Chains A and B, each alone.
Chain A
Amino acid sequence: MGRIRLQHIFIIIIFFFPLFALSQAYIEGSISDTTNVILPGASVVLKNTDGKIITYATTDVKGYYIIKTEAGNYILEANYLGYKKKSCEVVLINGKKQLQNFKLELSSNELKEIVIEHEKPIALRGDTLSFDAKAFSNGTEVVVEDLLRNIPGITVLNDGTINYNNRPIEKVMIDGDDLFNKGYSILTKNMPNKPLDKVQVLKNYSNNRLLKGIEDSDGIALNLTLQDEYKHLWFGNVEVGYGNKDRYIAEANLMHFAKKYKTFLTTSFNNAGLDKAGKVDAMVSNNVDLESIGQEYRAVKVMNLNIGSSQLGEDRIRFNNAETATLSTIFPLSDKLRLKLIGFLGFDEQSFFQQSISVTDFEGTYFENNEINNSSNKLQRSYLNALLTYDISEKQMLKSSTTLNAGKTKYVNDYTFNNRSTKENLETRNTYFDQKTTYTYKWNDRNVALFKAHFLTDRLPQNYGINDYLLGDLFLYENVNSVGNDIKSSRMYGGFQIDFRSKQKNNDLISFVIGYDHNEDNLMTRFSLFTDTSTINPQDFQSDIFYRVGDLYLLNGYTLKFNNFSINGSVNVHQIFNKFENYYTDNKLSTTQTPFIVNPAVSASWQVAPNDVLSASYSHNINNNSLLQVNNSYLFRSSHSFNKGLGYFNQLDESNAGIDYTTKHYLNRYQFSVGLDYSKQNDVISYSSQLEQNSSLSNAFLMQGGNRISAKFSSHYIVRKLKGTVRFGGNLGRLLYYNQFNESDLRKNILYIQTFTLGWTSNFKSSFNFHFSTQWNFSQVKSDNIFRNTSKYSYLDLKYVINENLNIKLKSEHYNFGGLDSYSNYFFTDLSALYSFDNKNTSIGLDGRNLFNTNTFTSYNISDIGYSTNSYRLLPRYVLLTVKFRF
């Protein structure tokens, strides 16, 4: 080879000298193994004499390679996995294509295998994402909400709602303490961001840290940590507004965070119809902090005369003068012990003006009543709660919540009934004491048990009086000039439960609950008719009731998952000890019963395709009776009506089944879901009522139940061309039920309901956006007569953000009711404008409500025995100028 090379170089230099500077050198060839099988994908490397790689190529499908480079001396290497590398020296000459083939031999060397081991364990971060507040600050932020907008994944909406990855968060904590629950916007809109150290996003958040890993929670919470140098942090805001007709609002929030304790004080005063106590309820209810039992067990409220409107927002009909104050504070008692105290005090004077005309029209009976209610309600409410959290150890936790609640309502009504003026009053007092304790023990990653205890007492005395006798022929006494009702209602509840949850190796969940509930009710009522000289207590209308329900229960559930299918089955077993006694001399009754109840339920879900889910459920429930259903004497419930129960226990039986199907576009462009529900009541307690012009007497009796079938559908569609989202949904229902009035036979009633909703939300990226929605309700009741009702409600929200400082919102509503021959239309418009100054600490707002000054609102209702119209006097137009100052 060497000899040939020398001769070649000679010839090349002589003959190809002129072309030397212009062209490049090529080398090509094919690579195969020793049996002539070609090797595609073999690597060919061209190195210079120092061993540096100059260029390289791989063989193509035919085992052929070509390399183009500058002329020179090189080493050419061919290699293929599993074969011995072969190399040779080559001299590349300009303009000349050289051929170099390779035949590779199998290699007997094994590939050097490696596995890197590592000794030092590293701490995993887990479910917490921690962001450094300073790193996300660009200097223009003033409050915490401004900083949160900068953090990837977090979006903050106008009303203060915070979402993480498009899912709403549960709470915002400060150094692990939560003072606000869902009302966290008071914190994020007012707290300055400067003291923030870190913003932590806690994924898979669970209120009970020991349930993590066992109960799959996809909840998200935020925790803000404060820098050490801010030992005392005071901040808050004040809002004051004043308008025509002496309307005012005043609100102040003050927060104080120190190293050891955190306090939050909020007070509110207004006579503009706003209900601030409702917002406070969201903050003070500690139910989310503590897993407990027996939530709904309050004393029986016999009389309830409050006027409310189901169709129109209550703040349009409520004339009020409210004051509320809430104080909450959290402080540590020791390393492991934390105490949260909440106190609430509220006063309100509400007035309502309402007139109703009702027509009762069914087989053989017809009468009309005209009622005018001019009422005032004085409310006082106080609430005190102490929540103690004791982190005993890694595996144990104890939580205790103690509540004291006291209230008083004084209701006075100028009541005109068919042109007869009277005055009625109802005073209700309430004292409530509640103690909940829950102990959680988690003995390994998969098993946890909760031991819950709960005790409460609730007293609800009521006193009613009316200065006339309006009950017509119901009582045949002479010279009755007033009527009174004195009620003493109280309840005591005690319960204990063990709740055991176990997550299996294959992620199935078994839950097992065993417990005992004990309820005792005492109800004493004295219904009196007063004449000038005497007091009459009619027989059958008094009670001295003792009602006890003991419930020993076992709840067992199992969730099974395989492939795209999951099924959950549960069985609830109750051994009940019922006792009812009425000691009143003329009505003495004592009855006991010990039913054994089994309630099964099953639900399943099947992911038919990635975006299609089918789910179905079935349950059978036997429900125990309430005091009012068993009671054997008449209770005076309102100015004209009396109710009596069965006089014995009879559990009510019903079955429910439902099926749902949801399909989504794979890119979320639309979603459509459809559902069908069927429920059948085997036994039902119905009321047989004696309806007269002046009185209504209802007797409970047991009869066959009806059934209910309903279908619902909902959909949303994103219209890209018009930059908006359309929502369309509806509800169709048919309800069959039986009742009986006066001398009629058993009446069969069928109620049909059709509801349709259409909405449009714009998705403009500009400063203007709107939201439109309209809902149409149709109902028909078929019994002796057919009554029809139509109501339509539409609203349009316009939002215009003029610039960073100024934005305007306009809300218009339209109501339409009809059923008789005429239809009535109502329009309402509210306007609000907000201007914030550059320093972001002060803002001025203008709020106008009911700009069209609509002063009456009449709605129309139907039932299976007639129809009624209800008219309300509305808050007249007012304009408030408000100033908000943040410090």
Chain B
Amino acid sequence: MKLTSIIILLISTSFCLAQKKIAVEVEYQELQEIPDLKEYTSSYTTLYANSNVAVNKVYDDVEFYDRPLDNKDFKASDPNKVKKFSGKYLMINTLKKQMLFFDFIMKNNFLVEDIYHDFKWDISNENKIIEGYNCIMATTKYRGRNWKVWFTPDIPLPFGPWKLHGLPGLIIEAVDEKHQVSYKAVKIINAENALLSEDFDKLVKTRNKKPITYKHFLEIRTEAFENLSKELNSENSGATFEDVKIPRSGPELKYEWEE
């Protein structure tokens, strides 16, 4: 009897002491490459995730390099350097099947609702150990790019870098087929964060009260830049309006409504 009660006491104490943090904080490094422009960039995002909700913070500092970057260049960001954050949060809620993010046009902030994509992943047989985690390879197609990722069931969270999610484990590495965009988790720690329980739409003061669709957001952003061109053009009577076509780069090359 006495032994049982002591055991119960010990178990219950350890239950309290083992203050289980059921969320992780992952820092991802994003490397982008545009060979035509000889542009090689590196930037950081931090993912706060628990089993249902993930909030991603995208930092403004982008570093430009003059040579192609590869796997050896991944490293955690300098903890002594204060990173600039302009409010670009991205939230994915797998239970409510919702994806929301904040972005801005010129100086105005917007709350944008993206199409919640049910990722169809092809899980392969390939295994690899990355930074001490057992990882399995999976592939999918999303918005014009073919992605190859390594996820680990050791961390059973369905999230990853940027908008990639839906695997039975955290995505440690992700790279697109053309090798123009790649991600790697450079820091993983156990940490609860208030962002996961706060009302997402109240994080940033925005122009719109209700979220606007991603398609509409892209349309008005294009319009804002075109209008800037038109305004400059009308100041200079010797000029004619020219449509500047900049080829798309980054993780999204094509959208669902463009199929």
Contact = CB atoms under 8 A, between A and B. Distances in A.
B238 A158 contact: yes
B51 A40 contact: yes
A725 B230 contact: yes
Interface in A95-139: 106-108, 110-118, 120, 122-126, 129-132, 135-136
B229 interface: yes
A493 B29 CA distance: 59
Contact of A116 (B15, B64, B76, B190): B76
Contact of B231 (A120, A125, A163, A716): A716
Given A111-B188, A125-B64, A41 B234 contact: no
A81 B64 contact: no
B168 interface: yes
Interface of A is mostly: loop
A837 B38 CA distance: 35
A801 B242 CA distance: 13
Contact of A81 (B24, B108, B133): B24
A115 to B, nearest CB: 5
B228 A166 contact: yes
Given A41-B158, A761-B237, A763-B241, A166 B153 contact: no
A455 B211 CA distance: 64
A111 B155 contact: yes
Interface string A157-170: 11101010010000
A718 B230 contact: yes
Interface residues of B, number: 80
Contact of B190 (A39, A113, A669): A113
Interface in B68-116: 69, 72-76, 94-95, 105-109
A671 interface: yes
B256 interface: no
B81 to A, nearest CB: 13
A796 to B, nearest CB: 10
Given A166-B229, A761-B234, A113 B189 contact: yes
Contacts of A61: 95
Given A112-B132, A114-B131, A117-B76, A718 B227 contact: yes
Interface in A143-162: 152-153, 155, 157-159, 161
B197 to A, nearest CB: 14
A654 interface: no
A11 interface: no
B105 A666 contact: yes
B255 interface: no
A120 B71 CA distance: 13
Nearest to B121: A56
Contacts of B229: 155, 166
A54 to B, nearest CB: 8
Given A42-B156, A58-B158, A53 B136 contact: yes
A759 interface: yes
Nearest to A52: B125
B117 to A, nearest CB: 15
B188 A122 contact: no
Given A110-B190, A166-B232, A718-B227, A126 B75 contact: no
Interface in A776-832: 797, 799, 801
A667 B105 contact: yes
B240 interface: yes
Given A42-B51, A157-B238, A668-B106, A58 B168 contact: yes
Contacts of A131: 37-38
Nearest to B41: A125
Given A45-B153, A116-B187, A759 B234 contact: yes
Contacts of A106: 15, 18, 20
B132 A114 contact: yes
B218 to A, nearest CB: 12
Nearest to A55: B123
A60 B168 contact: no
A800 to B, nearest CB: 11
Nearest to B133: A112
Nearest to B93: A41
Contacts of B154: 112
Contacts of B224: 666-668
A725 B238 CA distance: 15
A660 B133 CA distance: 60
Given A116-B75, A668-B106, A761 B220 contact: no
A247 B50 CA distance: 82
Nearest to A610: B107
Interface string B197-214: 000000000010000000
Residue from B21, B22, B220 having most chain A Cβ neighbours under 10 A: B22
Contact of A80 (B156, B185, B238, B242): B156
A153 B21 contact: no
Contact of A111 (B15, B24, B109, B242): B24
Contacts of B3: none
Nearest to B151: A53
A158 B240 contact: yes
B38 A666 contact: no
A797 B237 contact: yes
B95 A60 contact: yes
A727 interface: yes
Contacts of B136: 53
A631 B154 CA distance: 93
B36 interface: yes
B20 A124 contact: no
Given A82-B22, A166-B229, A725-B230, A125 B66 contact: yes
A153 B39 CA distance: 13
Contacts of B66: 123, 125, 130
A773 interface: yes
Contacts of A166: 225, 228-229, 232
B65 A611 contact: no
A43 interface: yes
Contacts of A669: 223, 227
Nearest to A163: B232
B237 A45 contact: no
Interface string B22-56: 11100000000000111110000000001110000
Interface in A208-260: none
Residue from B23, B69, B153, B237 having most chain A Cβ neighbours under 10 A: B237
A118 B230 contact: no
A819 B133 CA distance: 89
A773 B238 CA distance: 13
Interface string B120-140: 000101000001110010000
A468 B24 CA distance: 99
13 contacts: A81-B23, A82-B20, A108-B18, A110-B190, A116-B76, A116-B186, A125-B66, A131-B38, A157-B242, A669-B223, A671-B231, A718-B230, A797-B237
Given A114-B187, A759-B234, 18 more contacts: A40-B51, A43-B51, A43-B158, A52-B125, A56-B167, A79-B156, A80-B51, A80-B156, A107-B20, A112-B154, A129-B39, A129-B64, A130-B38, A135-B36, A667-B223, A667-B224, A763-B230, A771-B234
Which 8 residue pairs of A and B lie closest in terms of their CB atoms, listed nearest first? A118-B75, A41-B51, A761-B234, A668-B227, A610-B107, A79-B156, A125-B64, A41-B52
Interface of A: 39-45, 52-53, 56, 58, 60-61, 77, 79-82, 85, 106-108, 110-118, 120, 122-126, 129-132, 135-136, 152-153, 155, 157-159, 161, 163, 166, 607, 610-611, 666-669, 671, 716, 718, 725, 727, 759, 761, 763-765, 769, 771, 773, 797, 799, 801
Interface of B: 14-15, 18, 20-24, 36-40, 50-52, 63-67, 69, 72-76, 94-95, 105-109, 123, 125, 131-133, 136, 153-158, 167-169, 184-190, 207, 220, 223-225, 227-234, 236-244, 246-247
